[in-house]
Amino acid sequence: MLPRALQAAALAERILSGSLTQTLSQATGSNFPAGPLIRTWQRRGCSATPSALPAFSTAAPAAASDDAAGLQIHSSAAARLRELQAEKPGSRLALRIEVEGGGCSGFQYKFRLDEQSREDDIVFESEGGRVVCDAISLEFLRGATLEFEDSIMRAAFTISKNPNAEASCGCGSSFAAKMK
């Protein structure tokens, strides 16, 4: 339990010090809006106030490219996303990836299909496949690769080659974040 608490404390310190939001601004190529981050904290029961945060522009983040500063989308994942989008023509179907506390290693990946975009979403597109994630999750996903695994055991989206993961569980759905 202690390692999770230390990871959470380190992340909170980075958020409040502004280093997390500065990194997000660099990753998206734009100023990071503090408003959506504050709303996310409030939804999760945190008591951060706007006065505890540095000032930021309220401009929406630009769509991110799938380079080293963002999330890599493997051709297998892009192909599966195109198949899913073809089943719902006319929709803006995207795979939403979230990182949340839990799992056997401290953090876990959460995948779901979503047709709605949020104002604080960061969008990645590759080969016709759309992936969205929130700014906090991007901190844990930057440089990782999204793949689609189709085997006898399972057919699922997976995160591989995550440079922010110190260790992961056997199934690959949870990971321990590197302390920076």
What would the pLDDT profile of 67-79 be if each residue is shown by its tens digit? 456 899 999 999 9
CATH number at residue 10: 2.60.300.12
DSSP state of 167: E
In three-state secondary structure terms, 30 is coil
Q: CA nearest 130: which of 166, 156, 91, 160? A: 91
From CA 33, how far away is CA 41, in angstroms rounded?
13
pTM of the predicted model, to two decimals?
A: 0.62
Q: What per-residue confidence (pLDDT) applies to 10?
A: 56
Q: CA nearest 162: which of 144, 180, 137? A: 144
pLDDT digits (tens, 9 = 90+) for 24-64: 444 445 554 444 444 444 444 444 433 333 333 233 333 44
At residue 42, φ and ψ (nearest 5 deg) are -65, -40
From CA 122, how far away is CA 96, in angstroms rounded?
10
List strands edge to edge, sheet with 155-160: 72-73, 145-150, 155-160
Q: Where are the beta strands (DSSP E) in 85-136?
A: 94-102, 106-114, 122-126, 129-133
Residue pair 131/121 in contact (Cβ under 8 Å)? The answer is no
**In a structure prediction context, what are the per-residue pLDDT tens digits for the chain, which is 180 residues long?**
445 555 555 555 555 455 444 444 444 455 544 444 444 444 444 444 333 333 332 333 334 444 456 899 999 999 999 999 999 888 889 999 999 988 888 899 999 999 988 888 999 999 999 999 999 999 999 999 999 999 998 899 999 889 988 877 776 677 888 876
Alpha helices in the chain (DSSP H): 2-17, 19-28, 34-43, 75-87, 135-141
Residue numbers of the domain that contains 74:
2-177
At residue 118, φ and ψ (nearest 5 deg) are -105, 160
* Overall domain count for the chain: 1
